[in-house]
Structures are given as structure tokens and as C-alpha cells.
Amino acid sequence: MALNPPLNRKLRMGLVGGGPGSFIGPVHGIAAEFDHRCTLTAGVFSSDPERSKKAAPSYGVDESRTYGNYEAMLDAEARLPDDERVDFISIATPNHTHYEIAKAAVEAGFNVVCDKPITLDLAQAESLLKTIENSDVVFALTHNYTGYPMIRQAREMIQAGELGKINAIRCQYIQGWLAGTSEDDGGQLSAWRTDPAKSGAAGTFGDIATHAFQLGRYVTGELPESVSCHLKTFVPGRRLDDYGTAVIRYQDGAIGVLTASQVTHGRENDLELEVDGTLASLKWRQQSPNELVVRRAGQPHQIYTRSPGTGTMTPLAEASSRLPAGHPEGFYGAFANLYNAVFDDITLRASGAAFERRDTVYPNVYDGVEGMLFIQQCVASSEQDAAWMPLNYAEARQ
């Protein structure tokens, strides 16, 4: 098959979400443009057309490419010539809207970058998976912590066998921003994140435990078998969990322990991962993201740092670094690394070349479906006094 000419230009982005008061919308915009491979060209920045129009200048988007709803944007952009329309749609909206926007974008032929969790429930995730598999679009899910160079270092070290057989995975994500507050306080973020109709069946476990679960999967490659979970709601009147812990059995015999909280006073975004192997163990913490601690029995502890050019980094970790050693890289750079990998596949697709859908550097639709199964089974387990629930997708769907 003859290939198309290479894409010697910046990609064009259409953003859904990110209006006044949004945290993650502007992050998407900054991360996508971080390495000058993309320009935010069009958008629907609010479900209110007037608010959308008012937000556009802050993103540098012309009024003519600012739309009142996502349907109007998809229709108008699809009608534009190939050299003008957006190349992909980024979805930075509340959970309950992900499915309808992503499905419509895929059916219109646009590549998609979607916030996690992928949909409101597992049935929607499975439906979206079928739509994507029947298309030729690139689809990515923004579990953005997979973009940190030292997380990618840990992944490649484990793939190379440096830790031996994996025995245990411990991951925690501890926040405190919902402690001492209630939905009656009128906060925009807390209001929808604790509303089952907008957030889904889980609160904290849907919001941040999915990050912790997916990070362990990404780094180790271990396949989950079953889960026992206990969820708790500490703030009176709150309808969804704000704390929880889960034990995970993996198919190869490893065991995982995961804790997530949004009501621990004084904690910010304390995401921490530890992996035990038969030859070594490692530890990474997001609040010190440029360091990876590796321990081996009877030997001094090793601290790997993000130090490109020194020969101590794995190829993917080195390629994910921008600055010399000692200059910290952080959240935006990690998010941008995810976007860069997506851009590579979008470019391949545009050239007519084949691209990988399942085994990607970035989290994909299959990770999204697995994440929704994780949420569903954790909630089901908690409702049945921490009963064991299957996490193996084929077994769980029987």
C-alpha cells in the first residue's frame, strides 16, 4: 500500500471542556502544545455557549472555531478541507459525558484523547470499544502519570527482568481536598465528582484509585485476577466513597494492595508506587517524580535520577526527558509525553501506515475498559462485605 506524504506540520486540536473554573482543560491545552507539535485550533469550552465563547480567547482560539456544543463542532470541522479541520478531539469534561462525545467523535472519523475514567460505566466502555475497533482512529486515555520518565524507567527495568518475578505491588493515592467539606459548599469540582449521575458508581475510587490501579498495571505488566475491596464514606451526606482500600490478586501469583483517600487532612497529590520482585524492589513517589529508588538485599540502596546523557536511563525514559539533570521536570512534561506518543500514532495513521492499538506506550481503550471493570468490581465487592470479585475480563463477563 502506498503511503501518503509525511505530515510536516503541527497537528490541530479540538478541545471539549476547560471552561472557567476547570483544572484539567487548561492542562490538556498546555500539555498538547508543550513541544510545539500541536496547535489548539477549535473548541467547545462550556455547555453554555456564551461561556464557551468567553473562554476561547484564553486558549487563543478564534471565535469562528468556537462552538456552542460538541455536535456543532464535529459537524463543522468534518466539513472543512483536510488541511484545515482538526486532527483530534480532546475530552476534558465530567465523566457522564465522555461516552457520547467520544463515540460521536470516533464515528465522525476524529482521533480522540479522553480523560479517565473512559465512561460512566462498563457497558458504555464496552460499547465504545466496539465503535473504536470498527474504526481506524487513534484513541488514548489520559492516565497521565504513565508519562513520567522515571515511571517509564521502572517499566523498562521490570521488562528487562531486573526485579525478577514480581511478588507484590503497593500503590496509594492520598489527597485531602474533600476533607471537612460537603457538596452543600457549592464547589464545582466536588459537586459533580460526588454525584453518582455524573461521576459514576464510585467517588474517590473512580477518580483517583483508577490512576493507582492502572499505574501498577503499566509498570509491571501484571494481569489482574480478582479483587477484594472496602469503600467508606466519611463525610456525612456524601453519596459516594471518599476513602477505600483494595487487595488485588494477579494471575501470575503477585498480590497488590491499593489505598485511595480524598479526606486525609494535609495531603495533596501523594501518589506512591512500590513493587517487590524476587531480585529487587523499587519505589517512586509523584511528589519527588525525578527519583526512583531501587533496593537489593545486602547492597546499598540505589537512587536513579532523571539524568539524560549519563547512560543510567533506559531508552524510553531518556526519550521522555527534556532538560539536563538537576532541572526538575514534572506534571506538564509527563502529560506532554503521553500526547507526544499519541501524536506519533496520529502521524502514522495520516501517512497510511499501520499503528498499534493494544500495545501502546500511552493508555488506550483496552486500559479504559479494564479500568471500568475495576471500578465496577470494587463497588460490588464492597457492597458484599469485601467479597472476592473477578478482575480477569473474560471471567468477569461470564
* Residue 355 CB neighbour total at 10 angstroms: 14
3-state secondary structure of 42: strand
Q: What percent of the chain has pLDDT over 70?
A: 96
Which residue numbers in the chain have pLDDT < 70?
Answer: 1-3, 5, 182-190, 397-398
Contacts of 72 (CB under 8 A, 6+ apart): 44
**Mean model confidence pLDDT for the chain:** 94
Q: For the segment 241-290, what is each residue's pLDDT rounded down to a tens digit? A: 999 999 999 999 999 999 999 999 999 999 999 999 999 999 999 999 99
Cell 471552561 sits at which residue?
A: 19
Contact of 190 with 94, CB cutoff 8 Å = no
Contact of 346 with 6, CB cutoff 8 Å = no
Residue type, 8: N
Q: pLDDT at position 191, please?
A: 72
Closest CA to 198 of 96, 47, 98, 93: 96
3-state secondary structure of 291: strand
Count of alpha carbons within 13 angstroms of residue 369, beta-carbon side: 20
Q: For the segment 191-213, what is each residue's pLDDT rounded down to a tens digit? A: 778 889 999 999 999 999 999 99
Contact of 328 with 70, CB cutoff 8 Å = no
Contacts of 208 (CB under 8 A, 6+ apart): 173, 175, 260, 262, 271
293, β-bridge pairs: 283, 303
Strands (E), the chain: 11-17, 38-44, 88-92, 111-114, 139-141, 166-174, 224-232, 243-250, 255-261, 270-277, 281-285, 291-295, 302-305, 389-390
Contact of 241 with 205, CB cutoff 8 Å = yes
Cα separation, 213 vs 175, in Å, equals 16
Q: Which residues of 235-272 are buried (b: 16+ CB within 10 A; e: fewer)?
A: beebebbbbbbbbbbbeeebebebbbbbbbeebeebbb
**Full-prediction pTM beyond 0.75?**
yes
Cell of 99: 461516552
